[in-house]
Structure 1
Amino acid sequence: MPEENTPEPLTGPVLELAKLRAGLAAGLTVEQSQRLQGADETALTADATSFAAELNPTPQGPRSGGDRGPDAGSGTGRGTVGAGVAAYRAKHGLDENGNRPAPKPLPTGGRNPFVEPSYTRS
């Protein structure tokens, strides 16, 4: 009878080394390689490649708006630095030089508003 060549199950430190080799070959870290399951090198290699594929999925299609986002360089002026500066100035009431407008003077009627009222005339 011909003898079948079945791989012997790995155990102990040999199994840990095989997990590390299979994981690093698939692009996994040492911590991720320790989670691999299998009794021989082929099972560990298959588990490592499927685990790496789950962690780093391939993109399904083109991204909406490209890699830079939907409003970057859209031609409408949105998404530029100048548009952001103009929006900030409009929100905070600043002029083109970044200064706030001069406050309006308070009406005092020509008298000192900090004088305490008294009943005596001086």
Structure 2
Amino acid sequence: MSDPTTEQQLTEARTELARLRAGLAVGLTPEQSSRLQGATDEELTADASAFAAELGLAGPPAPSRSGGPRGVDVGTAGGVESGASRYRDRHPQRVTPEAQQHQSIGQG
């Protein structure tokens, strides 16, 4: 038979996890989620929704769409033509042997 203390700890951990899941799903913080009441997932979800409505929360926070860190040249002034010019400077056009042959035929 298992230890009653271990069973109790397991039950408490499962309840805490259920509270966190219900709360985070509607935009509550972990601290706010710890206040939720209920014995089942459905009861916790209903309590979380009611609590979030009282707080004026519309749902979980939207993920950041910043795209992360950017290069030093992103966001500099100049527009499309300036960007195209920088691209041409960094990526010079390569002349293939076929293109050289066509150029020499056209000059002769």
Greater fraction helix: 2
Common fold by TM > 0.5: no
Normalization by structure 2: what TM-score? 0.42
Normalization by structure 1: what TM-score? 0.38
